[in-house]
Chains A and B, each alone.
Chain A
Amino acid sequence: MEDFFKKVFDELQGNKKILTAVLTDIDSEEISQNLLGEMFLFDEEGIIEFSSDQLETELEKFFLNADLKNQILALSEKKNKDSQLKEINLDPDNKLEVFLEPVVDQPHLTVFGAGHIAEPLVKICSLLDFTITVVDDREEFLNYDKFPTADQLLLLDYTDYFASAKIKENDYLVIITRGHQHDYQVLKNVINSEAAYLGMIGSSRKIKTVYNQLRDDGITEEKLEAVHAPIGLDIGSETPAEIAVAIAAEIIAVRRDK
Protein backbone atom coordinates (compact mmCIF):
# COMPACT_ATOMS: atom_id res chain seq x y z
CA MET A 1 0.00 0.00 0.00
CA GLU A 2 3.00 2.25 0.44
CA ASP A 3 3.29 2.89 -3.29
CA PHE A 4 -0.37 3.80 -3.43
CA PHE A 5 0.03 6.54 -0.82
CA LYS A 6 3.10 7.83 -2.61
CA LYS A 7 1.08 8.03 -5.80
CA VAL A 8 -1.64 9.99 -3.98
CA PHE A 9 0.98 12.38 -2.66
CA ASP A 10 2.48 12.88 -6.13
CA GLU A 11 -0.93 13.56 -7.63
CA LEU A 12 -1.64 16.12 -4.90
CA GLN A 13 1.48 18.07 -5.88
CA GLY A 14 0.01 18.32 -9.36
CA ASN A 15 -2.58 20.77 -8.07
CA LYS A 16 -5.50 18.70 -9.32
CA LYS A 17 -8.65 17.88 -7.44
CA ILE A 18 -8.26 14.27 -6.36
CA LEU A 19 -10.28 11.93 -4.18
CA THR A 20 -9.80 8.56 -2.59
CA ALA A 21 -12.43 5.95 -1.83
CA VAL A 22 -11.92 3.35 0.91
CA LEU A 23 -13.98 0.16 0.79
CA THR A 24 -15.81 0.16 4.11
CA ASP A 25 -18.45 -2.49 3.35
CA ILE A 26 -18.77 -5.17 0.72
CA ASP A 27 -22.21 -6.54 -0.07
CA SER A 28 -21.29 -9.02 -2.75
CA GLU A 29 -20.70 -12.69 -3.41
CA GLU A 30 -18.14 -11.94 -6.06
CA ILE A 31 -15.89 -9.48 -4.28
CA SER A 32 -13.59 -10.84 -1.56
CA GLN A 33 -14.20 -9.62 1.95
CA ASN A 34 -10.47 -9.22 2.50
CA LEU A 35 -10.63 -6.18 0.22
CA LEU A 36 -12.14 -4.14 3.04
CA GLY A 37 -9.88 -1.16 3.65
CA GLU A 38 -8.46 -1.20 0.13
CA MET A 39 -8.69 2.07 -1.78
CA PHE A 40 -8.69 3.64 -5.15
CA LEU A 41 -7.63 7.10 -6.22
CA PHE A 42 -9.56 9.02 -8.82
CA ASP A 43 -10.23 12.41 -10.32
CA GLU A 44 -12.92 13.85 -12.55
CA GLU A 45 -11.65 11.80 -15.47
CA GLY A 46 -11.73 8.45 -13.74
CA ILE A 47 -9.70 6.05 -11.63
CA ILE A 48 -5.98 6.76 -11.43
CA GLU A 49 -4.74 3.99 -9.18
CA PHE A 50 -5.84 1.00 -7.09
CA SER A 51 -4.23 0.16 -3.75
CA SER A 52 -3.78 -3.48 -4.74
CA ASP A 53 -3.73 -5.65 -7.86
CA GLN A 54 -6.38 -7.89 -6.32
CA LEU A 55 -8.78 -4.94 -6.02
CA GLU A 56 -8.19 -3.96 -9.62
CA THR A 57 -8.63 -7.53 -10.87
CA GLU A 58 -11.82 -8.15 -8.94
CA LEU A 59 -13.39 -4.86 -9.98
CA GLU A 60 -12.27 -5.07 -13.58
CA LYS A 61 -15.24 -6.89 -15.01
CA PHE A 62 -17.69 -4.46 -13.42
CA PHE A 63 -15.97 -1.56 -15.12
CA LEU A 64 -17.27 -2.80 -18.45
CA ASN A 65 -20.53 -1.44 -17.15
CA ALA A 66 -20.84 2.19 -18.26
CA ASP A 67 -23.19 3.06 -15.42
CA LEU A 68 -20.46 2.29 -12.89
CA LYS A 69 -18.10 4.69 -14.61
CA ASN A 70 -20.77 7.36 -14.40
CA GLN A 71 -21.32 6.64 -10.72
CA ILE A 72 -17.63 7.14 -10.02
CA LEU A 73 -17.46 10.29 -12.09
CA ALA A 74 -20.49 11.60 -10.19
CA LEU A 75 -18.57 11.11 -6.96
CA SER A 76 -15.94 13.59 -8.08
CA GLU A 77 -18.46 16.38 -8.54
CA LYS A 78 -17.88 19.69 -6.90
CA LYS A 79 -20.50 19.21 -4.20
CA ASN A 80 -18.54 16.27 -2.81
CA LYS A 81 -16.11 18.54 -1.03
CA ASP A 82 -16.52 16.89 2.32
CA SER A 83 -15.73 13.35 3.32
CA GLN A 84 -18.78 11.09 3.23
CA LEU A 85 -20.08 7.55 2.90
CA LYS A 86 -21.41 6.62 -0.52
CA GLU A 87 -22.80 3.51 -2.10
CA ILE A 88 -21.57 2.15 -5.40
CA ASN A 89 -23.77 -0.32 -7.26
CA LEU A 90 -21.48 -2.57 -9.24
CA ASP A 91 -24.55 -4.32 -10.64
CA PRO A 92 -27.94 -5.27 -9.14
CA ASP A 93 -26.36 -8.01 -6.98
CA ASN A 94 -23.11 -6.40 -5.95
CA LYS A 95 -22.77 -3.30 -3.83
CA LEU A 96 -19.88 -1.51 -2.23
CA GLU A 97 -19.98 1.07 0.50
CA VAL A 98 -17.08 3.46 0.14
CA PHE A 99 -15.84 6.31 2.24
CA LEU A 100 -15.10 9.13 -0.09
CA GLU A 101 -12.37 11.56 0.85
CA PRO A 102 -11.10 14.54 -1.06
CA VAL A 103 -7.35 14.69 -0.57
CA VAL A 104 -6.62 18.19 0.56
CA ASP A 105 -4.16 20.59 1.92
CA GLN A 106 -5.79 22.29 4.91
CA PRO A 107 -7.43 25.51 3.69
CA HIS A 108 -5.00 28.34 3.90
CA LEU A 109 -5.71 31.98 4.57
CA THR A 110 -3.28 34.60 3.40
CA VAL A 111 -3.83 38.09 4.73
CA PHE A 112 -2.12 40.88 2.82
CA GLY A 113 -1.64 43.77 5.21
CA ALA A 114 -1.02 43.46 8.94
CA GLY A 115 -3.14 46.42 10.01
CA HIS A 116 -5.93 46.79 12.54
CA ILE A 117 -8.38 44.42 10.82
CA ALA A 118 -5.80 41.68 10.31
CA GLU A 119 -5.38 41.20 14.04
CA PRO A 120 -8.95 40.11 14.89
CA LEU A 121 -9.31 38.37 11.50
CA VAL A 122 -6.35 36.07 12.16
CA LYS A 123 -7.69 35.28 15.63
CA ILE A 124 -11.11 34.34 14.31
CA CYS A 125 -9.89 32.36 11.32
CA SER A 126 -7.52 30.27 13.40
CA LEU A 127 -10.66 29.00 15.17
CA LEU A 128 -12.01 27.97 11.76
CA ASP A 129 -9.27 25.41 10.99
CA PHE A 130 -7.31 27.58 8.60
CA THR A 131 -3.57 27.74 8.49
CA ILE A 132 -2.67 31.39 8.23
CA THR A 133 0.00 33.56 6.66
CA VAL A 134 0.21 37.32 7.12
CA VAL A 135 2.26 39.33 4.65
CA ASP A 136 3.35 42.92 5.13
CA ASP A 137 6.44 44.99 4.40
CA ARG A 138 6.36 46.85 7.72
CA GLU A 139 8.37 45.19 10.45
CA GLU A 140 6.68 47.07 13.29
CA PHE A 141 3.30 45.56 12.39
CA LEU A 142 4.41 42.01 11.95
CA ASN A 143 5.13 40.06 15.11
CA TYR A 144 3.79 37.09 17.02
CA ASP A 145 2.60 39.30 19.89
CA LYS A 146 0.08 40.72 17.49
CA PHE A 147 -0.58 37.46 15.68
CA PRO A 148 -0.05 34.67 18.21
CA THR A 149 -2.09 32.17 16.17
CA ALA A 150 -0.58 32.85 12.74
CA ASP A 151 1.42 30.03 11.21
CA GLN A 152 3.68 32.27 9.20
CA LEU A 153 4.51 35.97 9.19
CA LEU A 154 6.25 37.15 6.05
CA LEU A 155 8.11 40.43 6.10
CA LEU A 156 8.29 41.09 2.38
CA ASP A 157 7.47 43.56 -0.33
CA TYR A 158 4.31 42.25 -1.96
CA THR A 159 6.07 41.95 -5.29
CA ASP A 160 8.77 39.79 -3.71
CA TYR A 161 6.08 37.59 -2.23
CA PHE A 162 4.55 36.89 -5.62
CA ALA A 163 7.91 36.08 -7.15
CA SER A 164 7.81 32.74 -5.32
CA ALA A 165 4.24 32.15 -4.13
CA LYS A 166 1.95 29.67 -5.82
CA ILE A 167 -1.76 30.20 -5.19
CA LYS A 168 -3.87 27.04 -5.15
CA GLU A 169 -7.55 26.22 -5.04
CA ASN A 170 -7.69 25.87 -1.28
CA ASP A 171 -6.22 29.34 -0.76
CA TYR A 172 -8.34 32.13 0.71
CA LEU A 173 -6.93 35.59 0.12
CA VAL A 174 -7.82 38.75 1.98
CA ILE A 175 -6.42 42.03 0.73
CA ILE A 176 -6.36 44.68 3.43
CA THR A 177 -3.13 46.59 2.84
CA ARG A 178 -2.57 50.15 3.93
CA GLY A 179 -3.33 51.80 0.63
CA HIS A 180 -5.00 51.30 -2.67
CA GLN A 181 -1.77 51.15 -4.67
CA HIS A 182 -0.74 48.15 -2.63
CA ASP A 183 -4.20 46.63 -2.88
CA TYR A 184 -4.07 47.06 -6.64
CA GLN A 185 -0.64 45.48 -6.85
CA VAL A 186 -1.72 42.44 -4.82
CA LEU A 187 -5.03 42.00 -6.60
CA LYS A 188 -3.34 42.19 -10.00
CA ASN A 189 -1.07 39.33 -8.98
CA VAL A 190 -3.81 37.05 -7.69
CA ILE A 191 -6.88 37.81 -9.76
CA ASN A 192 -6.17 35.11 -12.33
CA SER A 193 -5.28 32.51 -9.68
CA GLU A 194 -7.25 29.45 -8.63
CA ALA A 195 -7.95 30.88 -5.15
CA ALA A 196 -11.21 29.76 -3.55
CA TYR A 197 -11.84 33.20 -2.12
CA LEU A 198 -10.52 36.58 -3.01
CA GLY A 199 -11.67 39.63 -1.08
CA MET A 200 -10.50 43.22 -1.05
CA ILE A 201 -11.37 45.95 1.39
CA GLY A 202 -12.26 49.49 0.40
CA SER A 203 -14.88 52.11 -0.28
CA SER A 204 -16.80 51.75 -3.52
CA ARG A 205 -14.82 54.70 -4.85
CA LYS A 206 -11.50 53.01 -4.15
CA ILE A 207 -12.72 49.72 -5.57
CA LYS A 208 -13.75 51.51 -8.76
CA THR A 209 -10.32 53.08 -9.11
CA VAL A 210 -8.56 49.75 -8.62
CA TYR A 211 -10.91 47.97 -11.04
CA ASN A 212 -10.33 50.61 -13.71
CA GLN A 213 -6.59 50.15 -13.40
CA LEU A 214 -7.09 46.39 -13.76
CA ARG A 215 -9.32 46.85 -16.81
CA ASP A 216 -6.49 48.84 -18.38
CA ASP A 217 -4.26 45.85 -17.64
CA GLY A 218 -6.63 43.65 -19.62
CA ILE A 219 -8.38 41.90 -16.71
CA THR A 220 -11.81 40.60 -17.74
CA GLU A 221 -15.11 41.68 -16.15
CA GLU A 222 -15.75 38.08 -15.17
CA LYS A 223 -12.61 38.04 -13.04
CA LEU A 224 -13.48 41.39 -11.46
CA GLU A 225 -16.96 40.18 -10.57
CA ALA A 226 -15.53 37.18 -8.75
CA VAL A 227 -13.69 39.46 -6.32
CA HIS A 228 -15.47 39.99 -3.01
CA ALA A 229 -15.37 43.76 -2.78
CA PRO A 230 -16.51 45.45 -0.66
CA ILE A 231 -15.27 42.63 1.49
CA GLY A 232 -17.35 40.78 4.08
CA LEU A 233 -21.03 40.06 4.57
CA ASP A 234 -23.15 43.14 5.01
CA ILE A 235 -23.97 43.07 8.71
CA GLY A 236 -23.44 46.75 9.38
CA SER A 237 -19.94 46.23 10.82
CA GLU A 238 -18.21 49.32 12.21
CA THR A 239 -15.24 48.35 14.37
CA PRO A 240 -12.20 46.37 13.11
CA ALA A 241 -13.37 43.29 15.05
CA GLU A 242 -16.86 43.56 13.58
CA ILE A 243 -15.42 43.87 10.08
CA ALA A 244 -13.25 40.82 10.78
CA VAL A 245 -16.37 38.86 11.76
CA ALA A 246 -18.07 39.89 8.51
CA ILE A 247 -15.04 38.77 6.47
CA ALA A 248 -14.77 35.48 8.35
CA ALA A 249 -18.49 34.84 7.82
CA GLU A 250 -18.10 35.43 4.09
CA ILE A 251 -15.15 33.04 3.98
CA ILE A 252 -17.22 30.37 5.75
CA ALA A 253 -20.07 30.86 3.29
CA VAL A 254 -17.72 30.36 0.34
CA ARG A 255 -16.06 27.36 1.91
CA ARG A 256 -19.41 25.74 2.62
CA ASP A 257 -20.88 26.63 -0.78
CA LYS A 258 -23.65 28.76 0.65
Chain B
Amino acid sequence: MKKEILKKIIELKKENLKLARAFIIQAKSSSPRNTGTEMIISEEGETFGSIGGDQDEKKVIEKAMDLIEKGKSEKLKLTLTRKEAAEIGWVCGGQIDIFIQTIY
Protein backbone atom coordinates (compact mmCIF):
# COMPACT_ATOMS: atom_id res chain seq x y z
CA MET B 1 0.00 0.00 0.00
CA LYS B 2 1.37 3.35 -0.97
CA LYS B 3 1.45 6.24 1.42
CA GLU B 4 -0.53 8.45 -0.97
CA ILE B 5 -3.36 5.91 -1.06
CA LEU B 6 -3.32 5.63 2.71
CA LYS B 7 -3.55 9.40 3.02
CA LYS B 8 -6.43 9.49 0.57
CA ILE B 9 -8.36 6.85 2.52
CA ILE B 10 -7.97 8.79 5.76
CA GLU B 11 -8.99 12.01 4.04
CA LEU B 12 -12.14 10.48 2.50
CA LYS B 13 -13.11 8.72 5.71
CA LYS B 14 -13.02 12.10 7.45
CA GLU B 15 -15.82 13.13 5.11
CA ASN B 16 -17.71 10.00 6.15
CA LEU B 17 -17.68 8.48 2.67
CA LYS B 18 -17.94 4.77 2.10
CA LEU B 19 -15.08 3.48 0.00
CA ALA B 20 -13.50 0.51 -1.62
CA ARG B 21 -9.87 -0.14 -2.42
CA ALA B 22 -9.26 -2.33 -5.45
CA PHE B 23 -5.86 -3.92 -5.96
CA ILE B 24 -4.34 -6.51 -8.25
CA ILE B 25 -3.47 -9.57 -6.19
CA GLN B 26 -2.37 -11.87 -8.99
CA ALA B 27 -1.59 -11.40 -12.65
CA LYS B 28 -0.96 -14.39 -14.85
CA SER B 29 1.23 -14.17 -17.93
CA SER B 30 2.40 -10.69 -17.20
CA SER B 31 5.11 -8.89 -15.39
CA PRO B 32 4.77 -9.21 -11.60
CA ARG B 33 5.15 -5.51 -11.16
CA ASN B 34 1.43 -5.09 -11.76
CA THR B 35 0.68 -6.91 -8.53
CA GLY B 36 -0.21 -4.44 -5.81
CA THR B 37 -1.35 -1.73 -8.21
CA GLU B 38 -4.25 -0.11 -6.43
CA MET B 39 -7.04 2.39 -6.72
CA ILE B 40 -9.70 3.91 -4.47
CA ILE B 41 -13.37 4.13 -5.41
CA SER B 42 -15.82 6.19 -3.36
CA GLU B 43 -19.52 5.45 -2.95
CA GLU B 44 -20.13 8.32 -5.35
CA GLY B 45 -18.00 6.69 -8.03
CA GLU B 46 -15.06 9.02 -7.66
CA THR B 47 -11.70 7.34 -8.20
CA PHE B 48 -8.12 7.89 -7.14
CA GLY B 49 -5.19 6.06 -8.66
CA SER B 50 -5.61 3.58 -11.48
CA ILE B 51 -5.18 -0.08 -12.13
CA GLY B 52 -4.91 0.54 -15.87
CA GLY B 53 -7.06 -0.44 -18.82
CA ASP B 54 -10.21 1.56 -19.54
CA GLN B 55 -12.61 -1.32 -19.97
CA ASP B 56 -11.42 -3.20 -16.93
CA GLU B 57 -11.42 -0.18 -14.78
CA LYS B 58 -15.07 0.39 -15.63
CA LYS B 59 -15.89 -3.15 -14.54
CA VAL B 60 -13.92 -2.71 -11.35
CA ILE B 61 -15.64 0.58 -10.51
CA GLU B 62 -19.10 -0.89 -11.11
CA LYS B 63 -18.33 -3.93 -9.01
CA ALA B 64 -16.81 -1.81 -6.28
CA MET B 65 -19.87 0.44 -6.03
CA ASP B 66 -22.07 -2.62 -5.82
CA LEU B 67 -19.93 -4.10 -3.04
CA ILE B 68 -19.78 -0.81 -1.14
CA GLU B 69 -23.57 -0.87 -1.04
CA LYS B 70 -23.62 -4.47 0.19
CA GLY B 71 -20.76 -3.84 2.61
CA LYS B 72 -18.85 -6.84 1.28
CA SER B 73 -15.35 -7.54 0.00
CA GLU B 74 -14.76 -9.89 -2.91
CA LYS B 75 -12.39 -11.15 -5.55
CA LEU B 76 -12.95 -10.22 -9.15
CA LYS B 77 -11.36 -12.21 -11.93
CA LEU B 78 -10.84 -10.52 -15.26
CA THR B 79 -9.68 -12.11 -18.46
CA LEU B 80 -7.91 -9.81 -20.82
CA THR B 81 -7.76 -10.22 -24.54
CA ARG B 82 -4.52 -9.61 -26.33
CA LYS B 83 -5.65 -6.15 -27.35
CA GLU B 84 -6.83 -5.15 -23.90
CA ALA B 85 -3.59 -6.43 -22.43
CA ALA B 86 -1.56 -4.43 -24.92
CA GLU B 87 -3.39 -1.28 -23.85
CA ILE B 88 -2.10 -1.61 -20.33
CA GLY B 89 1.39 -2.51 -21.45
CA TRP B 90 1.28 -6.28 -21.20
CA VAL B 91 2.86 -8.50 -23.76
CA CYS B 92 -0.03 -10.90 -24.12
CA GLY B 93 -3.48 -11.56 -22.76
CA GLY B 94 -4.07 -13.24 -19.47
CA GLN B 95 -5.99 -13.27 -16.28
CA ILE B 96 -5.81 -10.78 -13.49
CA ASP B 97 -7.33 -11.24 -10.07
CA ILE B 98 -8.41 -8.12 -8.32
CA PHE B 99 -9.52 -7.88 -4.74
CA ILE B 100 -12.11 -5.29 -3.90
CA GLN B 101 -11.91 -4.35 -0.27
CA THR B 102 -14.80 -2.40 1.13
CA ILE B 103 -13.64 0.14 3.68
CA TYR B 104 -16.59 0.78 5.95
Contact = CB atoms under 8 A, between A and B. Distances in A.
A238 interface: no
A105 B1 CA distance: 9
A42 to B, nearest CB: 13
Nearest to A8: B6
Contacts of A130: none
B54 to A, nearest CB: 21
Given A5-B9, A22-B99, A22-B101, A99 B23 contact: yes
Interface string B87-104: 000000000000101111
Prevailing SS type, chain A contact patch:
mixed
B35 interface: yes
Interface residues of B, number: 24
Contacts of B3: 9, 12, 103-106
B26 interface: yes
- The interface centre, meaning the residue of B1, B2, B36, B103 with most chain A CB atoms within 10 A of its CB, is B1
Contacts of B10: 2, 5-6, 9
Interface of B: 1-4, 6-7, 9-10, 13, 23, 25-26, 32, 35-36, 72-75, 99, 101-104
10 closest A-B pairs by beta carbon, nearest first, are: A37-B73, A83-B36, A2-B13, A37-B101, A36-B73, A105-B3, A101-B1, A99-B25, A24-B99, A103-B1
